[in-house]
Amino acid sequence: MTIREQPRQVLKRRASKRSDWKVALVFLLPLLVMYAIYYLYSIGFLASTSTTKVSVTFFNSIDVGWRNYAQLLTDPVFIRSMVNNILFACISIVAALTVAFFIATALATGVRAKRFFYLIFLLPALMPLSLVATIFGSMLTERTGILNQTLRAIGLGALAQPWLTQPGLAFAVVAVIFCYLIGLPIMYYTADLSALPTESLEAALLDGAGTFRIMRSIIYPMMRGTHITIILSLLLGSFRSLEVVLFSTRGGPGQSTEIVGSYIYGFATSGGPTIGFVSAVSIIVLVIALVLSIAQMVVTRPRKDMR
């Protein structure tokens, strides 16, 4: 390429890029319009409702200014719900990054009856959450639950516990249900493992690295993208895990296992003029989810030198 030819080609490339951008815009425009109507209208509607006192009919609303937000941010139950939400999410993330990773890697090594094990681990994630939580809840009632009855029947009655009425135990129960759903993280890891370049693993094997060393020092760091996807999906998903709490502990005892979803549910189904308050909660949750999503974009953005 001569020096004189260079500017012409640059111009040509720029023009082509511009035309690509226009084509992309034509295809994206209907979707953008739909998004604008669907999301922006909804968010705008929620925001305007959040400053009112109104029932589900949205008629005869009373403007209350920022009162809903003020009540919300000083409500100890809401703050506890937020904290619980994040704690449950953190516990399920730890389980996913350790147990789910280990299971996925172990199954990827070609153990016997691999499909059977996949089924075992995936099944809870494929079942309706409300069903899983209901089963857990009924198994754990102190007097009639199957767990305590079994413990008593085999002479271990001393281990029978008030699983759902002691705050600490009830919290642990909900945390276990959150962790029980590690099927999806296993699926993410399995999908990523199949695309992993094998050269590094072969090199490690040749260097005499053991299984756990390979898992810890080679595979785990290579799956950084999957870890981040799992962390964010579990964190954001925890805000939508209403069924887990509602059907197991009902937020109790004494709201010690309440999460944002169950907090909203209580007000939304009250039948009174509480929809403005519920909208304020939703806006706050939306802002938090937005912050998390932006964090995800920043964290997962490729470094400048990698572009």
Partner 1 sequence: MKFSKTTAVVAAAVVVASLTLAGCSAGSTSTGSHIAADAKQTINVWGWAGAPGKDVMAGVISGFEKANPSITVKFTEIASLDYKNKATLALSSKDSIDVVGVSPSAWAADNASYLLPVSKWPNGAALVSKYQPQTIDQMKKLFPDDEIRAVPFGSSGSVVGFYNADLLKKAGLSAPPKTWADFTKLADSLKGTGIVPAVMPSDSWFQDEFLTTLVGQTDPSFWNNIRYNNGSFDTKSYIDALAKYKSLYDTGLFDKSTLDLAYSDAMALFDQGKAAVVFNGSWEAGRLLASYRAANKVQPSDVGAMGVPADSADQVSARSFLDVTYAIPVASTHQAAAEKFIEYTTAGAGVDAWASSLGFIPAEKNWKLPSGLLTTDVETSGYATLQTLIGAPSSDRNNLSNLSAQIGTYILQVVNGTMTPEAAAKQAEADHKSGKYN
- Positions 143 through 162 that interact with partner 1 (CB under 8 A): 143-144, 162
Interacting residue with partner 1 among 130, 166, 200, 229 (CB under 8 A): 166
Q: Is 48 in the site for partner 1 (CB under 8 A)?
A: no
**Least distance between partner 1 and beta carbon 43 (Å):** 22
Instruction: Sort 269 into a burial class: Cβ within 10 Å, 0-12 / 13-18 / 19+.
Output: exposed
Site for partner 1 contains 164 (CB under 8 A):
yes
Contact 240, 285 (CB under 8 A): no
| Whole-angstrom distance, CA of residue 264 vs CA of residue 281 | 7
130 near partner 1 (CB under 8 A): no
Q: Which stretch binds partner 1 (CB under 8 A): 8-16, 56-64, 83-91, 282-290?
A: 56-64
List the structure tokens of 33.
């319009």
CA distance 45 to 41: 6
| 72/182 with CB nearer partner 1 | 72
Question: Binders of partner 1 among 237-256, rule CB under 8 A?
Answer: 250-256
Instruction: Compute the distance between CA of residue 137 and CA of residue 170 in angstroms, rounded to an integer.
Output: 10
| For helices 76-95 and 260-268, angle between their N-to-C axes, nearest 10 degrees | 140
* Gyration radius (Cα) of the chain, Å: 26
Q: How many residues can be counted in the chain?
A: 307
Q: Of residues 77-106, which lie at the interface with partner 1 (CB under 8 A)? A: 77
270 contributes a contact to partner 1 by CB under 8 A: yes
Smallest CA-to-CA distance from 162 within 177, 144, 141, 147 is with 141
273 binds partner 1 (CB under 8 A): yes
Q: Is 267 in the site for partner 1 (CB under 8 A)?
A: yes
Select 172 or 222, whichever has its Cβ closest to partner 1: 172
Q: How far is the CB of 270 from partner 1 (least distance, A)?
A: 4
Stretch that binds partner 1, among 7-15, 115-123, 165-173, 288-296 (CB under 8 A): 165-173
Q: Which is nearer to partner 1, 233 or 270 (CB)?
A: 270
CA angle 283, 288, 289 (to 5 degrees): 95
Any contact of residue 55 with partner 1 (CB under 8 A)? yes
Sole binder of partner 1 in the list 59, 155, 199, 297 (CB under 8 A): 59
Closest distance between partner 1 and the C-beta of residue 177, in Å?
16
Q: Is 52 in the site for partner 1 (CB under 8 A)?
A: no
Q: Is residue 261 near partner 1 by the rule CB under 8 A?
A: no
Give the footprint of partner 1 on this chain (CB under 8 A): 53, 55-57, 59-60, 68, 71, 77, 141-144, 162-167, 250-256, 266-267, 269-274, 277
